[in-house]
Amino acid sequence: MSSRTISLHDDAYRRLKAAKRSPRESFTQVVMRAVWPERTLTGRDLLDRIEREGALLPETALRAIERAKKKDRAPEDKWKTRWFSRRRS
């Protein structure tokens, strides 16, 4: 059986190592156990689902989100000081 050498970031290596069921399990076995989605969901898929099934959230949740958006304000500008505003005028 042929093999390949790959490079991983340290955090990916730690996750892969932590996924081993036993010290004797190889990284190949860990990867082969992994479940990979057959196909990723696209924006078109999401729009098709909404057209077919309707909104993904109940109407009450959507209204609550809209109310929260209306109340949302930009955060205070921490770089703007009173001293700086007075000097500019």
Quote the number of domains for the chain.
2
C-alpha distances (whole Å) from 76 to each of 42, 81, 87 are 37, 11, 20
Whether residue 52 sits in one domain with residue 63: yes
> What pLDDT digit, counting tens, does each position of 4-57 carry?
999 999 999 999 999 999 999 999 999 999 988 888 889 999 899 889 988 778
pLDDT band at 83 (very low <50, low <70, confident <90, very high): low
**Domain assignment of residue 55, yes or no:** yes
Query: What is the pLDDT at residue 89?
Result: 53
- Per-residue burial over 53-75, b if 16 or more Cβ lie within 10 Å, else e, is eeeeeeeeeeeeeeeeeeeeeee
pTM reported for the whole predicted model? 0.43
What is the rounded CA–CA span in Å between residue 31 and residue 25? 11
Q: Residue 81: left (phi > 0), alpha (psi -120 to 50), or beta?
A: beta
Res. 85: pLDDT tops 60: no
**Domain assignment of residue 76, yes or no:** no
The domain containing residue 32 runs over which residues? 8-37
Query: What is the pLDDT at residue 21?
Result: 95
Whether residue 33 sits in one domain with residue 13: yes
> What pLDDT digit, counting tens, does each position of 43-60 carry?
999 899 889 988 778 889
Whether residue 62 sits in one domain with residue 48: yes
**Domain assignment of residue 26, yes or no:** yes
Whether residue 32 sits in one domain with residue 43: no
